[in-house]
Amino acid sequence: MSFIRLLCAIGMLCLYTTLYAQSGTTQPTAGITVGKVSPQTDDILAPDPHYINCKGVFDGTVTDLPSISSGRANLASITLDAGSSTNCTLTHDPIQSGITSAARFHIEPIDFSLPLVAVVRFADAKGNDTVMTFRYTPRFLTVPTTVAIDSLAPNKEYTLRVPIVNNNSDTVRVYGLKLDRANSEFILDANTQQQFLMRAGDTVWVLVHVKCPDSKQYQDILHVLLGCSPNNEQKLTVQARAGVLSVLVESVDFGTHEVNTTSTLDVYAVNSGTIAATIQMLDLKDKGKGFSLRNVVTMPFTVPAGARLKIADVDFKPTTEGAVTDNFGYDIAEDIQNVLYDPTVKGNAVKPTGVEDELQGGLLLTPNPAFDILTVSVTINGITTTSAELYDVNGNTVGAVAHAAGNEGEPLQLSLANLQSGMYICKIECGTTTLTRKVFIVR
């Protein structure tokens, strides 16, 4: 029986030695380098480290194997060599000398973004010891600092494409993706995989949907988790802003205008945004209503941030009386307006006062409505105009006065540069005759 027991003991010793030798080999997938072990004559200490669920964290069990001659010595200590170890913490089960024969231990980085070196000494009560070295080299993915999208229409959904690149020479595992403010303005695409492997050179596009409720800037933080600790992650900012690039083409109002006369107003584009925007097209929706565009700038046309620039002239020449409207259609490169016919062009055509008065009494005021200059000419019974003056509807003079220049029959011109749009009364002196007529000014 003693011989049989001896054989069994030798067999167990060989088995444990084999297991320990296996645990002492290099494990490239785990990044562990095991130090050389010198077994003592009595007991053998067999640490058995392994990964848990992420790189940089090691869990294991150390076992004190009994010697053939003197029996079990049991564990005495598990210690970290502070002089040779960097960026690591070591914890283990409580050890009672002479009683504990096996204990679990745990090693992880203090900062997952830095390399780890843990030199651990396992000792038993008889002085037998084993030293093992654990190493961890962090892997980083290349992610942008900020991914932003601008020029959004409020309450319309857009998609941000966030690139994640593995520029390492080996495979890196992503353990999760999350946003700080889930289900707010930013939402991860429903088909986004939370865990995946990235081989060397791989690029993964993460889709983030965004919808801004109003014309403000919004942002969130996207976390790319690379391990089981919250510290082992990379972060990037996703931003979106609504309404900042909306290039407004201003509406145009000709006010009251004579039939069969032509007036011209400027068309402006206003960029209320923070960066330049490009207009691709400008046109009128309806043709043949008396409005026409001239001198349109060469398209595409870039409007700098905060600028108000003239982009065209619009003429109005109505052929019949009554109110008439049209709409501008315009498209900007960022596809916000996308051929929206919205800004209005309008005018109200009236019977030409100048023609009527010329036929009935020899009085001509042109143009009427007027913009910057009003020309007055009258010939009644051989008497030419000697002066003309404008009053507002309350009878107050507005300062527009003209007198004969000395040449008989020459028309008088009144400057309207400082007057607002509206109706005025023109008082004309013709020798001993005084005439009054309504004048309309448009801006």
The CATH number of the domain holding residue 178 is: 2.60.40.10
The pair of three-digit structure tokens given for residue 411, joined into one six-digit string: 């028309």
pLDDT at 421 > cutoff 50: yes
pLDDT value at 360 more than 50 = no
Residue of 67 and 293 predicted with greater confidence? 293
Contact present, 143 and 224 (Cβ < 8 Å): yes
234 and 340, same domain (yes or no): no
Q: How many CB atoms lie within 10 A of CB 298?
A: 5
Q: Where among 309, 329, 350 does a domain terminate? A: 350
Q: Which one-letter amino acid corresponds to residue 387? A: S
Whole-number pLDDT of residue 136: 84
Is residue 10 domain-shared with residue 117, that is, in the same domain?
A: yes
Do 171 and 278 lie in one domain? The reply is no
Determine contact, residues 371/414, Cβ cutoff 8 Å.
Answer: no
Confidence of residue 312 (pLDDT cuts 50, 70, 90): very high
- State which of 136, 162, 191 marks the end of a domain: 136
One domain, residues 7 and 118: yes
What's residue 85's pLDDT? 96
Give me the domain span that covers residue 131. Answer: 2-136
d(CA 326, CA 290): 9
The helix/strand/coil state of 150 is strand
State the DSSP code for 22. Answer: H
The SS3 call for residue 309 is strand
| Residues 253 and 362 grouped into a single domain | no
Helix (H, G, I), strand (E, B) or coil at 257: strand
Co-location of 65 and 95 in the same domain: yes
Give the number of domains in the chain. 4
**In a domain? residue 35:** yes
pLDDT 10s digits, 234-251: 898 988 876 544 677 888
Q: Are 73 and 126 in contact (CB under 8 A)?
A: yes
CB contact at 8 A, 269 and 308: yes
- 175 and 295 inside one domain: no
Residue 74: the pLDDT is: 82
Residues 88 and 202 both lie in one domain: no
Strands 146-152 and 233-242 come out as parallel
419 domain-assigned:
yes
Q: Do residue 98 and residue 218 come from a single domain?
A: no
Lowest-confidence range among 6-15, 361-370, 424-433?
6-15
The pLDDT mean for the chain works out to 76
Q: In 3-state terms, what secondary structure has residue 296?
A: coil
Q: What pLDDT is attached to residue 313?
A: 92
Looking at 301, 332, 350, the residue that finishes a domain is: 350
Indicate which CATH number applies to the domain containing 21: 2.60.40
Q: How confident is the model at residue 208 (pLDDT cuts 50, 70, 90)?
A: very high
Single pTM value for the model: 0.40
Same domain assignment for residues 208 and 317: no
